[in-house]
Every structure is written in structure tokens, then in C-alpha cells.
Amino acid sequence: MRRSLVALALVACSSRGGDRSPTERPPGPSAPSTSEVVETRQCGEVVATWRGHRVEGRRDLESLAFTLPGEAAPLPWTHGDLDPPHWSLDVFAPDCGHVLLWWSHTGPYHVVATARLGAYLRGAPPDHELRGRDGDSAPVFDGAWVDARTIRYRSGCCDPPIDLQFTVP
């Protein structure tokens, strides 16, 4: 009995695939993307392109990339745990001077000058991060440009949420 338990333990340990944690799944083969362009927005010389699928009259978004002047290919936007259905299509300020990007489903929002967008998409920090009041970790949501320099958004996990405003310096 003891010998069979040892053998079972060895088989279980050897099938884990090296030093992966028990909840980690091995990477599977990557399937080719079958997504299509579902929306584009141009502001000045910058073009935002959302890819995904159109399903029964709605857009299922999967990715966002920006085409910038002087770049050979679009630069993808990488984000936190933001579900694509929550992405906003209104990322550009009315004067095209900045973009507003929601990092994850709880925030923060990133505000980036379009002149620095290429650096940001390559990993540079945003110009501004919009969080809850006093920089707390409360979720932020409903961010929108009011004018070329003003963003209104909400914060809070409980009713009622707090209305906040940020002015780009």
C-alpha cells in the first residue's frame, strides 16, 4: 500500500509541468485571430482601432491599437483586467491633445498626451492617473471628456458614488 501511494505521489508531482503553481495552466497553442475591425476613431493624425466581432447588432471588442504618425505598424494598448465590453470608444479629448484610457475595471484612468502616446504604449508611465478622492483605491468609472481639458468621472464602491473632476494642467 505504501509503495503505491509513493508511486501515485511521484506521478502527480511529475505531471505538474515543472515549477508551475497548481492553479497555473500550461500555455495552449495560440489560435490565429479571427477578429475584424469593428470601430475606428481618428483624431488629428492618430487613429484608434478596435478589433473584435459584431454579434447581433452589438460590438464585442477584443483589442485596441493606435496608429501614430511615423510608426510602421499600429501600437497595441495593453491594460489591466478591464473587460473589453467596458471599453469606451470616446478616448480622445475634443482637441485631440490627450487620450483617456481606463486601465482596469476598478481603475485608474490614464491620461496621456497624444504627443507621448507612442512612449506610453511602449511602457512609459501615463501623464496623469485618475483615482478616487485623495488617491484612494476606490473603483473609478464613467470617465468622460467634458471639454479639451476637463474629465468628469465617478468613484466609489457603495451608494452613492462620488462625482469627481480633473483638469489637465
Q: Say whether pLDDT at 44 is over 80.
A: yes
Radius of gyration of the chain (CA): 21
d(CA 59, CA 114): 26
- pLDDT single digits (tens) 135-160: 778 899 899 999 999 999 999 987 79
**Omega prior to 69 cis, within 30 of 0:** no
Bridge partners of 48?
Answer: 41, 66
Task: Show the cell assigned to 113.
Answer: 498626451
- pLDDT single digits (tens) 61-110: 888 999 999 999 999 998 776 666 567 889 999 999 999 998 887 889 99
Bridge partners of 150?
Answer: 167
Q: Which amino acid is at 62?
A: E
Q: Say whether pLDDT at 12 is over 70.
A: no
Residue spans of the domains in the chain: they are: 35-167
Task: Show the cell assigned to 163.
Answer: 462625482
Other beta carbons within 10 angstroms of residue 137's beta carbon come to 12
pTM of the full structure: 0.74
